[in-house]
Amino acid sequence: PFERTVTMHKDSSGRIGFHFKDGKISALVQDSSAARNGLLTDHQILEINGK
């Protein structure tokens, strides 16, 4: 499977721009850090901050 590292930054509200449900990205906020970095719905997040 394809894996990559993505660095995202919080907006002024402290959010990075996606909704997470059942282990997968369920929605993206338009023009958010997540959207700009190429995250897609139904993708899984395997690790956050090395954990």
Question: In which band, very low, low, confident or very high, does the pLDDT at 13 lie, cut at 50, 70 and 90?
Answer: very high
Q: For domain 14-45, give its CATH number from 3.40.1710.10, 3.40.640.10, 3.30.565.10, 2.30.42.10.
A: 2.30.42.10
Tokens of 25: 């990205």
pLDDT at 49 over 90: no
Question: In which band, very low, low, confident or very high, does the pLDDT at 40 lie, cut at 50, 70 and 90?
Answer: very high
Q: Helix, strand, or coil here: 31?
A: coil
Asked whether 41 and 23 are in contact (CB, 8 A), the reply is no
Tokens of 6: 């993505």
Q: pTM here?
A: 0.75
Euclidean distance between CA atoms 29 and 50, whole angstroms: 24
Tokens of 23: 């282990």
- Per-domain residue ranges for the chain? 14-45
pLDDT at 6 over 80: yes
